[in-house]
Structure 1
Amino acid sequence: MVFYVENCFHWVGFHIVNHLLEEGYSVDGTDDINTDTKEVLSMFVGRNELFRQLEPGQREREYEAAICISDDALMLEMDRSVTINLPLVFGEWMPMNHNGFFSREEFIRFDSHQFKREAIYIGEFLNSLRQWIQTSELPSIMDVRSYNDARNKNIDYENSVYIRTAHPLDKYVEAVKMHYEKYKKFYRMS
């Protein structure tokens, strides 16, 4: 199987590419390497024989799925297009500092009520994404949410999908903070 990932060095795109490569899939990726962080992330996957970096807009073969990443959604193109509205996803390489991170131009503290209710670690999201890619019947729009946010009365439940985390959020936050401290000079804040 071969996947196409646009914005592959966006922090979410990098995690998707890395996950697919670890699963043994081939990935063609495109991105404009315009930050130090993207440069560093490109070096992590650039030497993998299953990864090819293409020019933006270039597609060279048939793909199992094409994935386009933005800050708040993924476009998943298989037999048809599916928009996956991202939850408050967090993980290594996101724009952050020790106290929290930026999501949709808003600073979210790790100790905030919003974070505890809505956040999903990127690894948990990727496990679900893998299942969705293997599913033939998906709605055209999916609103992905944390299981902790299931009682929110302002939600349209028709297209909502809930992810339950395998470990407490604090465990993931601790790992992300350790990564941040180790690679702080490559992180960006916005």
Structure 2
Amino acid sequence: MMITVSPCFHWVGYHISTGLLQEGYEVIGIDGMDDLLSDHLYMYVGRNSNFQHFYNHTDKENHLQIGEEERKVSIDDYLIVILSGEGSSLVRRIEIPELYGEWMDIHSLNLQSPDELYEWVIKNDAVYITDFLKVMIPLIIEEKAQTSTVIFDQEKSDEDRKRNVEAVWKSHMVSLSLGII
């Protein structure tokens, strides 16, 4: 099965793309790569033989012949839409819960420390990106359409949440030091 992810270098799209690649799926990434973070994230997946990048959907359509086995995953800030096949029939629409994870835009939240990020996670009942993917990846590859409510599990303990916040903050500091955000 081939899965198109757009935008593939939005921080959530990047995690969905890498999650699908780790499961052995072929991923077509659509992204205009209009910032330094996109360039940086491309380096993590660009050499994977199961990944192809196109700047837009027209380029993809001009270079690839995709059949009924394709899934299309479109991501915006609050919604993921999953389409299937050449006719692009709707499989699912999933509202994205508040998420946090590596490569997220911490600046837009105006957070200045790991403690502030931790407070934001608690206040917003945010779901860690890895926990989100444990539910999301099977929904993307599932064959039939479903309209049921999707429940995303939280970390099992406060210690897990703190460890995840520290990892997110570390990636944020790496981004700052590299000048990519």
Report the TM-score, using the length of structure 2 for normalisation: 0.78
> What does residue 81 of structure 2 align with?
75
Question: For structure 2, which runs of at least 5 residues remain unmatched after alignment?
Answer: none
> What does residue 94 of structure 1 align with?
104
Residue 70 of structure 1: how far off its partner (Å) = 1.0
2:155 to 162, 165, 169: 165
- SS class of match (2:32): coil
> What does residue 41 of structure 1 align with?
41
Aligned residues: 162
> What does residue 10 of structure 1 align with?
10
Question: For structure 1, which runs of at least 5 residues remain unmatched after alignment?
Answer: 143-158
The structure that is helix-richer by fraction is: 2
Q: 1:176 to 1:74 in 2, by over 3 A?
A: same
Residue 163 of structure 1: how far off its partner (Å) = 2.2
Pairwise CA RMSD: 2.2
- SS class of match (2:73): strand
Q: 1:83 to 1:27 in 2, by over 3 A?
A: same
The separation in 2 between residues aligned to 1:160 and 1:130, in whole angstroms, is: 12
> What does residue 56 of structure 1 align with?
56
- Is this contact kept in 1: 2:132–2:152, CA < 8 A? no
The structure that is strand-richer by fraction is: 1
1:129 to 130, 136, 139: 136
Report the TM-score, using the length of structure 1 for normalisation: 0.75
Residue 111 of structure 1: how far off its partner (Å) = 3.6
- SS class of match (2:151): strand
Question: Which letter maps to 2:146?
Answer: L
**Which portions of structure 1, spanning 4 or more consecutive aligned residues, are displaced by more than 4 angstroms?**
none
Question: Which letter maps to 1:176?
Answer: V
